[in-house]
Amino acid sequence: MATLFQGLAAVTPLSPSNSIESNKLLFSSRRSLSERKGNNFVVRSDAKVNKVLKSGAARKHELLIPNAVATQGSSSVASASKPGHELLLFEALREGLEEEMERDPTVCVMGEDVGHYGGSYKVTRNLAEKFGDLRVLDTPIAENAFTGMGIGAAMTGLRPIIEGMNMGFLLLAFNQISNNCGMLHYTSGGQFKIPVVIRGPGGVGRQLGAEHSQRLESYFQSIPGIQMVACSTPYNAKGLMKAAIRSDNPVILFEHVLLYNLKERIPDEEYVLSLEEAEMVRPGEHVTILTYSRMRYHVMQAAKTLVNKGYDPEVIDIRSLKPFDLHTIGNSIKKTHRVLIVEECMRTGGIGASLTAAITENFHDYLDAPIICLSSQDVPTPYAGTLEEWTVVQPAQIVTAVEQLCQ
């Protein structure tokens, strides 16, 4: 293994630069952006959402979509006239990864089927042909081994991206992530940096069963020394990927299995997002709704009904799961004085529980009502579709919770 990384170092000398059903994801051969046509899952831009909300008086009795993920349809003329280029979320992740691999020869990728197969969700497609088998390294089915290998590579000066084929599989590498990835910078007295990115698909999909429907945010949040972010749009997926790769800290990037085919127009010019900032999705006055990942779309679906009922919710995608952006969150709470947390993570010991504690400690005097947290039920995710829906927060529950808060 030492020979392998000596070879990698020789090829790339160290540089001082720093919803769709997952079982039906089929990707055709690589095409240019101008050739991509047909129906795609399209992210609603903030402007479009606001426009729909303001003109929704005639649709007060519109039914909620129980499994809201995104809006399906072809691109509008207005969208086509905007600068930039359209990408699906998995393509945005790949574009960010490819740009960083071109910029910095120490960036490399490792994981199961990431090479010539292109990854289970095609995030690394065509990268092996471009950068070679040493920088895009296929590994055996041995998560603990290749995660440890990536951490060791980071200690020697490389910047590895470790892909878990499914985030649930990374439980097999928990020892490496906890005892080495998060702690080695401290336990070595600062002699080693661990600039590693751990990423992969997770969350409740479409009847993937309990073992493939894990939400590991709650597992990893207690590990000292690790940052955690969750992407929810193609724009922030690319920006967070690039920021995570450039960070000298170990970063876990959570991607939701149902969001890979979300489509959005992103800038042509390079951009990098902050790993520690939340995103204001919808400004409002009556209640602060904190959410992330797939639940962002459940919340925005509920927001249409809430506006029709006379409520004005403020929606924040927290994005940074560790640390929390308490500046953005606090400013919102000081304005609305009410908080609803919506997450897909488990209720016991989840991100919502930690966020509730942080808000209570820092902004208790600004609250006019108790914090409400809507989380997945503390049960293994059922395989049956109808039961699966019952375990995850749905838009109708969000509407009811806001009405309760604003009484």
3-state secondary structure of 46: helix
Least confident of 203-207, 230-234, 243-247, 340-344: 203-207
Q: For all residues of the chain together, what is the average pLDDT? A: 83
Residue 356 within any structural domain of the chain:
yes
Domain boundaries, position 213? 2-266
Determine the Cα–Cα distance for residues 236 and 238; give it in Å rounded to an integer.
5
Q: Same domain for 240 and 286? A: no
My answer on whether 57 and 179 are in the same domain is yes
Query: What's the pLDDT score for residue 5?
Result: 41
| Amino acid 83: pLDDT | 86
**Least-confidence region, from 66-80, 139-153, 200-214, 227-241:** 66-80
Residue 206 pLDDT: 84
Whether 139 and 219 share a structural domain? yes
The two tokens of residue 44 are: 């609603």
* pLDDT at position 296 over 70: yes
Regarding whether 295 and 165 lie in a shared domain, the answer is no
How many domains does the chain fold into? Answer: 2
Mean pLDDT in residue range 267-277: 96
Mean pLDDT of 204-232: 90
90 and 182 inside one domain: yes
Q: Of 214, 241, 266, which one is at a domain's C-terminal end?
A: 266
39 pLDDT higher than 80: no
Tell me which of 185, 212, 256, 298 is the catalytic residue. Answer: 212
For residues 102-128, average pLDDT = 95
Average pLDDT over residues 204-212: 84
Which one has a higher pLDDT value, 119 or 210?
119
Instruction: Quickly state the pLDDT bin for 18 (edges 50, 70, 90).
Output: very low
**Residues 6 or more apart in contact with residue 291 via CB below 8 angstroms:** 298, 299, 315, 316, 317, 318, 341, 342, 343
Average pLDDT, stretch 238-267? 96
CATH number of the domain at 294, please: 3.40.50.920
Per-residue pLDDT band at 10 (split at 50, 70, 90): very low
CB-side exposure of 171: number of CA atoms within 13 Å? 13
Residue 127 pLDDT = 96
Domain with 149 in it: what CATH number? Answer: 3.40.50.970
Write out pLDDT tens, residues 83-96. Answer: 899 999 999 999 99
Per residue in 51-64, pLDDT (tens digit) is 333 333 333 333 33
User: Is pLDDT at 277 greater than 60 in this prediction?
Assistant: yes
- pLDDT score of 385: 85
Whether residue 186 is contained in a domain is answered as yes
To the query of whether residue 143 is one of the catalytic residues in this protein, the response is yes
- What pLDDT is stored for residue 82 in this prediction? 72
Q: How far apart are CA 298 and CA 374, in angstroms?
A: 12
pLDDT above 60 (res 69) = no
Residue 215: inside a domain, yes or no?
Answer: yes
Of 91, 100, 112, 143, which residue is the catalytic one?
A: 143
- 320 residue type, one letter: S
- Given a cut of 80, is residue 75 above it in pLDDT? no
pLDDT value at residue 258: 94
Same domain, 19 and 145: yes
Task: Looking at the structure, tell me whether residues 327 and 217 fall in a common domain.
Answer: no
The alpha-carbon radius of gyration of the chain (Å, integer) is 21
> Residues 230, 330: one domain?
no
Statement to judge: residues 136 and 32 lie in one domain: yes
Give the global pTM.
0.80
- Indicate whether 119 belongs to any domain: yes
In eight-state DSSP terms, residue 62 is P
Residue 283 has pLDDT above 90, yes or no: yes
Please confirm, yes or no, whether 212 is among the known catalytic residues. yes
pLDDT score, position 396: 96
pLDDT band at 197 (very low <50, low <70, confident <90, very high): very high
Q: Looking at the structure, do residues 240 and 326 belong to the same domain, yes or no?
A: no
Average pLDDT rounded to a whole number, residues 103-130: 94
Residues 190 and 219 in one domain: yes
Whether 9 shows a pLDDT value over 90: the answer reads no
pLDDT score recorded for residue 1: 40
The span from the CA of 376 to the CA of 115, in Å, is: 35
Q: CA of 80: how far to CAs of 50, 74, 77, 232, 235, in Å? A: 19, 10, 5, 22, 16
Percent of the chain with pLDDT over 90: 70
Q: Higher confidence at residue 168 or residue 315?
A: 315
Residue 89 sits in the same domain as residue 128: yes
User: Does residue 111 register a pLDDT over 90?
Assistant: yes
Mean pLDDT of the region 337-353: 94
- Check whether 22 has a pLDDT greater than 70: no
CA–CA distance, 388 with 330 (Å, rounded to integer)? 34
Nearest to 265, CA basis, from 98, 97, 89: 89
Q: Calculate mean pLDDT across residues 149-153.
A: 97
Task: Using pLDDT thresholds of 50, 70 and 90, give the confidence band for residue 81.
Answer: low
